[in-house]
A and B are shown apart, each in its own frame.
Chain A
Amino acid sequence: SQQGEEDPQALSIQEGENATMNCSYKTSINNLQWYRQNSGRGLVHLILIRSNEREKHSGRLRVTLDTSKKSSSLLITASRAADTASYFCATDPSSNAGGTSYGKLTFGQGTILTVHP
């Protein structure tokens, strides 16, 4: 089953604008990751934020995490046409001693971002 729910399902913006995508999840996590998927391709890791972090930056990406609300957001600043893709959040659950959740990611449904030139 999908743990994450992403909002919005689709987002259409003009080049240069900022894009914000949100992700909510249900269980305790070790970390949360964001991935990008271009049409017809595999997923590419963008950024990871640990459960004890609140904000993280990487280039034009800014991720926030609120563990009390079980939610995260991904902000892409100054978007480009090349940012057109689907974006997925993925949760890495808190590992249990001897449990099988170790390393298992659960992906959300994704947000389809279209950036118009």
Chain B
Amino acid sequence: EAGVAQSPRYKIIEKRQSVAFWCNPISGHATLYWYQQILGQGPKLLIQFQNNGVVDDSQLPKDRFSAERLKGVDSTLKIQPAKLEDSAVYLCASSRPTSGGLGTKNIQYFGAGTRLSVL
């Protein structure tokens, strides 16, 4: 099966400009995640969708970041206006949680990410 697709792979912008990232999850995966990964750190969840509804956006800086998932498939993440500290890799992941035995297994599949540099 095709993996998680993200574009663009790289983006360089100046501060106060806007930028958008696109993600196409694995077919049939209802759950989609956007993560921010700053150099040398682990991924930090920004927003989680279940189909086209938001499950968790508690760590999304809503004054400048927005995300949508129309029709429960593709998703876009936007930053407007960008700040220097937004320089990071933005990762998209998708999953199809499965239940069985004790608890639910939620294995996430990641795209290659978009590396954003804000100058």
| Contact surface of A with B, Cβ cutoff 8 Å | 2, 4, 30-31, 33, 35, 40-45, 48, 50-52, 88, 90, 92, 94-95, 100, 102-110
B12 within 8 A of A: no
| Contact surface of B with A, Cβ cutoff 8 Å | 4, 31, 40-45, 48, 50, 55-56, 91, 93, 95, 97, 101-113, 115
16 example contacts (A-B, Cβ-Cβ < 8 A) are as follows A40-B112, A40-B115, A41-B112, A42-B4, A42-B111, A43-B93, A43-B110, A45-B108, A51-B103, A103-B48, A103-B104, A104-B45, A104-B56, A105-B106, A107-B43, A110-B42
**How many angstroms from the CA of A92 to the CA of B97 in the assembled complex?**
12
> Which residue of the partner chain, among A92, A106, A109, contacts B106 with CB atoms under 8 Å?
A92
B45 touches A103 (CB 8 A): no
**How many angstroms from the CA of A109 to the CA of B43 in the assembled complex?**
8
Question: What is the predominant secondary structure among interface residues of chain A facing chain B?
Answer: loop
> Which residue of the partner chain, among B104, B107, B113, contacts A30 with CB atoms under 8 Å?
B104
